[in-house]
Structure 1
Amino acid sequence: MVVGLREQDALLALGVVPVGTSEWHGDHPGAIFPWAKKALGNAPLPTKLNVTDGIEFEKVAAPRPDLIIAVYSGLTK
């Protein structure tokens, strides 16, 4: 699960498809940009989180992700 604003590209480059991503610019399905679609392969699009009014914690927890990455999320302690 990617809660930060742009970690999905790094995960896709490593061959990991996140179950959820945060939309940070424009309206792209699954918050996957054109340059990263090939790395997505046949995997289903990630669930897109809306971070306009803060992080949707219930939506982040719902798919029971193994890992939550939130580097550029604005989360604090």
Structure 2
Amino acid sequence: MLTTFRADAHVLRALGVGAGGFLLKGTPAAEILHAAFRVAAGDPILSPTVTRQLIAHVGATGSHVRRHRPG
């Protein structure tokens, strides 16, 4: 996905419906082309800004922590 929107909701929605990557329109053309080939090869691609957002989102929501009850 190539967009100017970088809100968490947009990123999560795009990735949730199967986007292989999420780049911001400010990304240089050569990087967009390289990313397209990488996504086509099966590699996920995220803009560094989006990666930072996702890390912050996961940290803030605590969704990375699994709670286990002792057996």
The alignment's TM-score, normalised by the length of structure 2, stands at 0.33
Q: Higher helix share goes to which structure?
A: 2
- Which structure would you say has the larger Rg? 2
Structure with bigger RCO (C-alpha 8 Å, 6+ apart): 1
